[in-house]
């Protein structure tokens, strides 16, 4: 009896996994609106009842795919930022570039930053923002504690930064020339973030940012995107 229950549980997991993988492929390639449940179930070899059982409906399936892609993306970004050589400020400056470069990944671009805001009715809710806010907190709270940025109301700062980075990400996702849009927003975001530095170090940082901007523009190619593991 126990073996039968395990087999059913394994089959249920297999079905759910297949639906997620197929939906992710189709949502990435075609977008949410152009992807039908009929196509998803046909490719998965299951009935519409499997969708209802595991995800409720098409929007529920998209939400599950969105959460998976977004969580992979943020986990990879956190790992890549931690691996950057240099101090916390240098990791932040490089992290800006890594964050926007990751949006060139087709699944992140389409699912998280193009369809996500349109499909998810709770897109800007506290719960939906929580993973991104947690990543920002892990970056900016140590900077504040170390005196590398001015002490400001942390929660208010994180929410304003979330809005700033989100809008930059949407711009890159919708841009016809993603590499150009990425470079322009890296330059702007770095300049804005330099304004958080204490007054004594801000002038030095601005010169460093300007030097980096010149170096970036001379390279002529966008940075490598964060890998989605």
CATH domain 1-56 topology: Arc Repressor Mutant, subunit A (1.10.10)
| In the predicted structure, residue 97 carries a pLDDT above the cut 60 | yes
CB-count exposure of residue 97 (10 Å: 0-12, 13-18, 19+): buried
The CATH code of domain 62-219 reads 1.10.357.10
Q: Which pLDDT band holds residue 4 (cuts at 50, 70, 90)?
A: low
The pLDDT of residue 224 is 54
| In the predicted structure, residue 199 carries a pLDDT above the cut 90 | no
The pLDDT of residue 229 is 40
Provide mean pLDDT across the span 194-201: 83
Residue 190 phi/psi, 5° resolution? -60, -40
What's the DSSP call for residue 120? -
Contact 88, 127 (CB under 8 A): no
pLDDT in tens, 162-195: 999 999 999 999 999 989 999 999 999 999 999 9
Name the residue with tokens 């409906």.
57
Name the residue with tokens 């990425």.
182
Domains 1-56 and 62-219 share a fold: no
CB-count exposure of residue 6 (10 Å: 0-12, 13-18, 19+): exposed
pLDDT in tens, 74-90: 999 999 999 999 899 99
- Global confidence as pTM: 0.81
The pLDDT of residue 102 is 95
Helix H, strand E, coil C: the string for 132-173 is HHHHHHHHHHHHHHCCCCCCCCHHHHHHHHHHHHHHHHHHHH
Q: Which pLDDT band holds residue 1 (cuts at 50, 70, 90)?
A: very low
| In the predicted structure, residue 205 carries a pLDDT above the cut 60 | no
The pLDDT of residue 210 is 53
Share of the chain above pLDDT 70, in %: 84
Share of the chain above pLDDT 90, in %: 75
User: Where exactly are the structural domains of the chain?
Assistant: 1-56, 62-219
pLDDT in tens, 51-68: 999 999 999 999 999 999
Q: How far apart are CA 146 and CA 141, in angstroms?
A: 9
| In the predicted structure, residue 23 carries a pLDDT above the cut 80 | yes
């Amino acid at each position: 009896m126990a073996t039968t229950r395990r087999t059913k549980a394994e089959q249920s997991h297999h079905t759910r996994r297949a639906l997620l993988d197929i939906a992710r492929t189709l949502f990435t390639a075609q977008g949410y609106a152009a992807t039908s449940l009929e196509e998803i179930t046909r490719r998965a070899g299951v009935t519409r009842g499997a969708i209802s059982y595991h995800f409720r409906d098409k929007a529920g399936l998209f939400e599950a795919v969105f959460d998976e892609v977004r969580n992979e993306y943020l986990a990879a970004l956190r790992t890549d930022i931690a691996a950057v050589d240099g101090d916390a400020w240098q990791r932040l400056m490089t992290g800006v570039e890594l964050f926007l470069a990751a949006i060139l990944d087709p699944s992140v671009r389409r699912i998280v930053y193009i369809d996500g805001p349109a499909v998810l009715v709770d897109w800007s809710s506290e719960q939906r923002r929580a993973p991104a806010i947690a990543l920002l907190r892990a970056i900016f709270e140590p900077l504040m504690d170390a005196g590398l940025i001015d002490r400001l109301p942390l929660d208010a700062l994180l929410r304003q930064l979330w809005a700033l980075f989100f809008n930059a990400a949407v711009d890159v996702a919708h841009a016809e020339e993603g590499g150009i849009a990425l470079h322009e927003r890296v330059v702007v975001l770095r300049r804005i973030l330099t304004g958080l530095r204490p007054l004594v170090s801000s002038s030095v940082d601005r010169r460093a940012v300007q030097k980096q901007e010149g170096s970036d523009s001379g390279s002529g190619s966008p940075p490598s995107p964060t890998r989605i593991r």
